[in-house]
Structure 1
Amino acid sequence: MNPGLLMRLQQLSSVEKKQLKSQSLNDDIPPAALDLAGMYRLNRPVFNDYFFNNRDVFVSKHNRFAPYPLHSHHFLEINYVLSGEIHEIVNGDPVTLKKDDLLLLDVGSSHSIAAPGKDDIMMNILFRDKNISINLLNQIQSKQSELYNFLINSVLKPQQASGQYLLFPKERGNDDVKLTVDRLIEEYYSHRSFADTIIQAYLNILIAKLVRNYRIPSAPTTPAQKLAIKTLQEIHSNYQDISLADIAKKYSYNANYLGNQFHKETGKTFSQALTSERLIHARELVSSTQLPINDIMRAVGISNSSFFYHKYKEQYGCLPREDRASSYHQLTSILSDELD
């Protein structure tokens, strides 16, 4: 991060001076920012969209020297640690954030924050893009693999009732996410022309990088889940020509039994999962190459063109050629914004 901005953020704000003196919360949040109905229902502060004021992204430094009580909000929030260490309770779970770690909180998540010390600098990035949610992040990543889709849904299911959260620890030696967060924060505080447009572009890039870098947390699996995972791994590795009979023979199962167990665990038949996996790889080729669509169809193991086009539109909402044109325009727009 720009050294001048970092030095500015390390300086004590007026609220921090009061909190340092009193060692208690001197909240500068106006009453208009509170959802009174939500507070009454949940018995804790609930923040509304007050902060945005005709913008989609709001950035602020978290005030130090006092604990922040349990609260939730109608928007998404990123907590990003510039220095030191931050301790939170998120949906009842203790979470520790160290330098360059990032926490993404979904709408409805609840969290409290222990009192940060002088060297503990955390930035809050709030955004309300209604097209972005943690469920969407999972859907984006699931396009890479039917296996990922199954695993992520299994892991996150217990959190869905109260709002989800994802923790992204800094991967040592990998500054991919850090660079984008730093640029977003720097742009926010620069107050230059077109800042809002560039900040939104950086947010989109940041979300894409978080999806790319996310690692599925480990979770205990039942024997039936393990069998479904084995089957999905086979589909992912051999989608061009795999069959249920091949997998059943490899693992010494009856094919009907394997198919029934798979459907019970994943909610899809083997044929549906295989077709979806093939379409995932087809879309990757559509978006990243100029191969003819018929060649792509055959490369992923589908021979019936009517079936391919019908299923592609069903899964992605558009035909392959439309998808290719849309991907090209989105990519050039994002690259242009990041290069500015």
Structure 2
Amino acid sequence: MNSRVLSRLKQHELVENEQLKTGLHVEDLPIKAINKQSSTRNYKVLNNYFFRNRNVYISKHLRFAPYPEHTHQFLEMNYMLSGSCDQIVDGHNVHLNKGDLLLLDVGCTHSISRLNENDILINLLFRDQSISINFLDDMRRSNSVLYDFLLNSASGEKNSLKYIVFNNNVDSDIQDTMEQIISEYYFKREFSDTIIKSYLSILLTKLVRHYHVPTDKKNPQQQLMIRILRDISENYQDIDLTTLAKKYGYNKNYLSNFIKKESGKSFSTLVTSQRLIQAHSLITTTTLPISEIIEKIGMKNGTSFYKKYKSYYLTMPGDERK
């Protein structure tokens, strides 16, 4: 982290000095920024106040007093730049250490325990209301049949979480991008807003990369289905049901019926879907000839590929490149 920015963030704000004296939360937002709810102690923070003439709002969370339970009308990220903190998020205890990032969906309630001197928590708010956890779900789902299955399973849960915690990873992938955003925001150099928007696209893509959907470890059927779908995602070019059945020690017909029951789709449909997903990725990110892509994904019949691609993506492969 840039030392000048870090030093600035560690300086005491006026409100922080007041909170340090009393240990009590001091409201620092104007009335127009808060939508008080008469029937509950929660309140909503309106995005119109934060996003005047800007796409992203970044701030340091004020230290030395607990922050009351509240909710937002926009997606929020809490990034632990240094130290640690405890929050209650959607009724769950969440602990963040340095480098951890908490993604809060629109409408998710949370409260934050008192932060101390070296606990620097950065809030990053999005103007774009189309960005949500569902947005990340859709991006992850479009990457493989495995995540399509996991996300469909998760969406069926009555108490699905409205937040995701991204723990600091070994290669500091998310941390590096987040700290670049923070530095650009506080330095306010020329073209900072444009650079921040570009970094945000990178950050969101990295979050999708590191987004692991929770699974039911106690459900052996789901765990087997996950292993099968992982096999399909990794070996879609030449995988076949006979080899898969032999690998897991099941009769071919039994495994076929199991896959259909657990996923709602046949084995051949899942393999075709994964091939089309890979084809779409190659078509939109490379200049490889479509004929070569068809061969690369393991499909033999070009006519069949075009028909299935149109049915899956509602457009022809060539139109993706126009």
Q: TM-score, normalised by structure 1?
A: 0.84
Deviation at 1:32, TM superposition (A): 1.8
CA distance in 2, matches of 1:30, 1:47: 10
Correspondence list, 1:5-44, <5 A: 5-36=5-36, 39-40=37-38, 43-44=41-42
Q: Is the 8 A contact 1:227 1:262 kept in 2?
A: no
Deviations 1:108-155 (A, max 9, x none): 211110000111111100003234222222332333321233234435
Deviation at 1:7, TM superposition (A): 0.9
Q: Is the 8 A contact 1:66 1:114 kept in 2?
A: yes
Partner of 1:168: 166
Identify the match of residue 266 of structure 1 among 248, 263, 267: 263
CA gap of 1:183–1:159, structure 2 versus 1, over 3 A, is: farther
Partner of 2:68: 69
Partner of 2:45: 47
Q: TM-score, normalised by structure 2?
A: 0.89
CA distance in 1, matches of 2:247, 2:239: 11
CA gap of 1:274–1:160, structure 2 versus 1, over 3 A, is: farther
CA RMSD of aligned residues (A): 2.5
CA distance in 2, matches of 1:18, 1:323: 57
One-letter amino acid matched to 2:47: D
CA distance in 2, matches of 1:315, 1:13: 54
Instruction: List runs of 5+ in structure 2 lacking aligned partners.
Output: none
CA distance in 2, matches of 1:160, 1:200: 33
Deviations 1:151-201 (A, max 9, x none): 34435654766x6211111123x2322221111112212233333222111
CA gap of 1:140–1:42, structure 2 versus 1, over 3 A, is: farther
CA distance in 2, matches of 1:214, 1:130: 20
Q: Is the 8 A contact 2:75 2:129 kept in 1?
A: no
CA distance in 2, matches of 1:296, 1:75: 40
CA gap of 1:98–1:252, structure 2 versus 1, over 3 A, is: closer
Q: Is the 8 A contact 2:150 2:215 kept in 1?
A: no
CA gap of 1:266–1:227, structure 2 versus 1, over 3 A, is: same
Partner of 1:290: 287
Partner of 1:231: 228
Deviation at 1:61, TM superposition (A): 0.5
CA distance in 2, matches of 1:324, 1:207: 24
Deviation at 1:104, TM superposition (A): 0.9
One-letter amino acid matched to 2:165: L
Corresponding position: 1:205 with 2:202: yes
| Identity between Structure 1 and Structure 2 (%) | 46
Q: Which has the higher helix share?
A: 1
Secondary structure, aligned partner of 2:178: helix
Deviations 1:97-116 (A, max 9, x none): 11111111111211110000
Deviations 1:296-322 (A, max 9, x none): 112212233333223334434543334
Q: Is the 8 A contact 1:278 1:301 kept in 2?
A: yes
Q: Number of matched residues?
A: 321
Partner of 2:118: 119
Partner of 1:194: 191
Deviation at 1:254, TM superposition (A): 4.8
Q: Is the 8 A contact 1:155 1:219 kept in 2?
A: no
Deviations 1:8-35 (A, max 9, x none): 1111111111111111010112222233
CA distance in 1, matches of 2:246, 2:260: 18
Secondary structure, aligned partner of 2:116: coil
Moved more, 5-14 or 224-233: 224-233
CA distance in 1, matches of 2:108, 2:243: 44
Q: Is the 8 A contact 2:217 2:223 kept in 1?
A: no
Q: Is the 8 A contact 1:84 1:120 kept in 2?
A: yes
CA distance in 2, matches of 1:22, 1:187: 34
Deviation at 1:295, TM superposition (A): 1.7
One-letter amino acid matched to 1:8: R
CA distance in 1, matches of 2:315, 2:218: 36
Deviations 1:214-239 (A, max 9, x none): 34445324233233223313322332
Correspondence list, 1:256-335, <5 A: 256-324=253-321
